[in-house]
Structure 1
Amino acid sequence: MTHRAHEGGPWGPEADETSGGGWLPGPLVRKLLLVPVLAIALSGALAAWWVSHAMGREAMDRLVSQQNDEVELVARLLASKIEQSQKVLSTVAEGITPEILDSPAWLEWLLQQGLPAVRFFDAIQVARKDGTLSVNLRYGRLAKASELDPVEREFLVRTLLDGKPQVSGVIGTSDADARVMFTMPLLRGEGRVIGAVSGVLRLQSQGLLPHSLALPARSESRLVVFTRDGVILSHPSLERVLGQISEEPGLAEAYARWLDVNQSHSGGGGTQVLGERVISLASVPMPRWMVARVSDAHAMLEPLQGAQHRAWGLVAGVTAMVCALTLAAMLWLARPLTLLRLRARSVLEQDEPKPWLRAQTGPSPTQVTGVESWPRARGEVDDVVQLLSRLLEGRHRLQRGTETLLRQLQSVLDHVPLGIAVTRAEQVEVVSQQVCRLLGYSPQELQGRSLVALLAPHEQGVDMAQQVHDAFAAHGGFDGELPLLCKDGGALWVRVRGHLVQPGEPARGVVWTLEDGTAEREARAQQAWERTHDSLTQLLNHTEMEHRLQVLLAERAEREWQPKGDAQEGSGVLLFLDLDHFTVVDDLAGRAMANDVLRRLASLLEAEARSSGWAARMGGDEFAVLLPGSSVERGRMVAERLRVAVQAWEPAYQGRSYGLGLSIGLVSLVPGLRDAAAVLHAADLACYEAQRAGGNRVHVGDAHSMA
């Protein structure tokens, strides 16, 4: 390469001179100039695409959110209208006393003139307990009882029988005749039903679904109200009222999907994107109606497309200008590299032996320094490599000597059965094979790594690196356990000892010895766990529960001296549970099945107490649940929920089902309690009282009596 670079030919000086000499950038610089230009152009295109995509996505998300909020607002409005109608009817019912109900003339006068709330409805009916219709007031005039629609009469009779307010579905078969009926029972002071009153509102009245509800009408969107059975109640096109939503494009499919998700018909709503349509649904619970907004996403986002096209043009212009400025700046910055190339060629020409002396002077610099193994490229790289090979030849000899010493040291470390590593400035320089086997790395992967980067996070958030620094500052070394990161991402606890290579001189490095401490650590952890937990159910044992209760009572005693504002909302409760009929399972199904029942119950208690307290097995089939900060009311709710769950659970073993129950004693951790054993005994006595009362029930005891 050296000979050819300084002789004639396409790579020689003659070629450079004919093309403008060495003043023009070399081939490598020209390639480097091309890379940022292409990168800027590609970045501009990607940025424009990303901005355009983000704008479209944001606009769509905004449309979905706005439409979803609009539909939910309309649903709440309709729900409030229904609630208002019921309140008005309740006002009418409160004005009808038993004396008025027994006097038809007085009742007719009251409904026509005495109660202003009656005018809210299009029709009012009052029925006695026996089903006799006393008054049938329709559109301000009295009508005969026989003119009452059978469906309306059925709702009145149902209210008389159930004694509860009701809201009917849509009554009628035409837009003009469609109506909704509200009923309210007439009750005496002791809750006895003496009659019923009903109010009827036309579907398109201001009290329910006026025509203005679907306004403002937009070509790209329509608001539809329909029943759960698919009957349209409100539509921008009046001729579609009382039609079927199965004929509404997109809405039928969206409602079918909504029903699949909300099979109980109790779901709230949501927004779906089906093709080019955005469909939002919201539920009106009491009359079982649905509100839907169907929008054409393409038409609503059409104004955004013009802005995206303008953004593309602007990005293209800016990208072209940035490319031009970048190219000019890089040409100016590459000028020193061009001059360096000329200087390197001049030095090579001065130091290179004459052709007729090459045979007598031995191998060329290329052969001596091994340039053939270097990266090859026309231009700057070839020239710089030739110059650097001569400057680095001496350094290579020194490095080879150093590498020989390192190989000898590494050979020793490879055969030492102890993990050894040497660090300088907290970076690994030398490491033994034993360390590599412990952590799963190769020596090349560990060399140069930061010691801090090899430390795994501590489970309790302890800064292990700071502990190591403090130990060296205080004692000049470290002796302890450290969690190290393995190559597979796991953490390995290692027994580590570190000493300075030269005492008092940290800059000379640190020698570390490492031993696997996993077995020792796991043994300590297993012993600690077994002391505090029940081996069968994995819950806390009796001793640990009593200890935690004692700690809680001590903390509560300290807080009693604090201001009232620092007190918690609930004083806390303790539940003591005994499994009813457990001996039947133990005697008939066997010990293995009985243990399975205990484990299943323990899992239920753990799930209930995980977020707010602790569960423990106190012995046999007795358990306890401690809920700090809970009120007595919440504790009773938890206890009742557990009791119902166990009662509903009927385990089956060997073809036979077993019925279980749960007797629960509950005591409140009121201020003044000090003795955990006494509190546990009080809860146990409360559980015993629940068993004496027949079992499968919750009994609230008094912990003060035992404290």
Structure 2
Amino acid sequence: MLRSMVLIAMIAVLLAGAGAAGWVAYALRRAVTDGALPAQTKALEYAARSLAFRVEQQQKPLHALSSVLAGHMHDSQESLEAMLRQPASMAQQYEQIQLANGKGQLLVNLRQEQAMSAEQLDESLREVLKRSLAEGKPITQAWVRPGDAGLQLEFQYVVPVRDLQGKLLGVLGGSYRAPLSVLFSLESTSAEAGGQLLLIDRDHRPLALSSKGQWQWPAAAGDAVLPAGIDRAWLKMAQAGAVSEQRNGKLWSAMPLPWAQWTLLKVSDVQEWVPGVSARTMGWLAAALLALAGLLGGVLCLIAYPLTALFRSAERASRRGVMLELDSVSRGASWWRGLSDHDWGEALTLRSALQALGGGYEAHGEQERELQMQLQTLMDYAPVGLIVTHGVTVQRVGMQAARVLGYRPREMQGLAVRDLCASDADHEDLMGRVRRALDTYGQFDGEVCLMRKDSRPIWVRIHGQSMQRMHRAWEQSGKALDGQYLVWELEDVTTQRQLREQSSWKAMHDPLTRLPNRTAFALRLKEWLQEYTSRDYLESMGRANAVARSQSEPMVHGIVLYVDLDHFSQVNRQGGREVGDEVLGHIARLIESTVRPHGWVARVGGDEFAILMAGISREEGMRHAQLLCMAIQDWEGSYQGQRYMLSASIGMLLLDASYHTAASAFKGADMACYAAKRKGRNRVEVMTAAV
């Protein structure tokens, strides 16, 4: 009986183990193979989007700095250098800063706050400054440079410096370097250990190669050209959009980097994604399975031995004609009783569970510390100042925000928000504004006066929202700030507020939204039409463009968008004039952020806005207009527990510099907007003919 039970149990364990192992291996290989290409493409897309977001965020301080410098372009070189060297200046975010006037003369050349001569300026940076000055528009350029920590990616941002009338006064450039290993830090998996990550330029030449997390020059890796098997036609498709495919046993994923016209390519072997099992591992698994079967047989022997002894005693009693009780001194009885009285099973299980729990707690704590360190690193090197608060206490602060307020990041951890305010009244007023904005709009955006560590006042613009809101979950109305985690973006606007106090600024800007007004927009449009006609259009009259005009096909030199909010009067009726003004301020900032950096926005009426987008084609203009229409439609607000949403009717005029004047262009865009309202609102209508 005992031998049969043990034999059957061991055979069942061996068969079940072998079958389960085979099925798990097959299912795992199939699942990994099917998900390998999407996983690789998703990781590559995340790296490309993260870099694009980093580039966009790094450009914002340079745009703001150019607006400040526009009123000081005629100052002396020493005055300009002193302004850029100030600790609170946004120029501190860049390793190099250059300022040139409209004649192409280099006024300022700073490298790590040290003044350099014009001859010491790198020729590649000089060419980018010249091109931006000639084209009159922002330019982003990147190069792969060697560094102490390996290859680095150097970004050069150049933005035009214009006065309030839009006249080009010069260009402002800023340089910033970051290691490639940080910019393209894809998650390390077993598959990526054998794959390759390549950075390819617009001419399909490799700029840098990463293998096993180490970036190096292609020539250093012995491969100055594209690796074998890469189709150039396929790479050309990748420059227009993300592509991926599985070919010849390899996974190919490519993602474009539009700001540099580069391509990020990831190549890995399919087999590297599939977990393989070596012969030695198979042997160990077989041995473990046999050992498990033997162990199970031993346990069954221990369990079944008393039953066997009892069966034998009963059999002997049956032959004698009497029923004997189990003799405690019979064979095996004393040994089994001693083994049963021992608590080895329970003690071992409890000890193992406690050890596993302790080990898991230590691993969790180590992982949490690593995540906190990564979060702090991201906040320190973010292009904007970031602060995380829990209730009325600062939990975490980035280096940029701490620098603006005159603190070190560690000094602000645990600091009460009250300590950043001048008085209790200011603190209560700020908390009331934040609470009201969170209840109404789910976010706060405004300018407040805070106190630096040295007790000097500083005006900052803060934009904050709760982490729950960032996960697209509405906060409960009236929830106390003590229970909320808020993420804040902080920007020094002291200089901008001083600029807004000037009468010239007030004459050309709307005091509610701080956008240019109707007069400023008409002046900007008129100057742009005159400048474009005198410089570009007259030169092209004798070229092939004249054929298009003879065929009554107007040229498109730019776009004018006329935006009119639909049913905005309902907001005023529901919440009052004060709430309506707050909503207009939010919508103005939403429009400005949506069309940046291609569009120049102005408020031309009560709930009407105009946007000039120079050098934009019809297709690009339609795409921007539709994105703006969807962004306004997605915006939500609430008042006293009631939500309200907005939409916009947008008229789009295709600008022809030879046909249109400022008045006719403005009227044409207005008529297109009126047509959009007549056709049902919340849509975009295009007008091509001159009014």
**Normalising TM by the smaller chain, what interval?**
0.3 to 0.5
Structure number, greater radius of gyration = 1
TM-score, normalised to structure 2, is 0.35
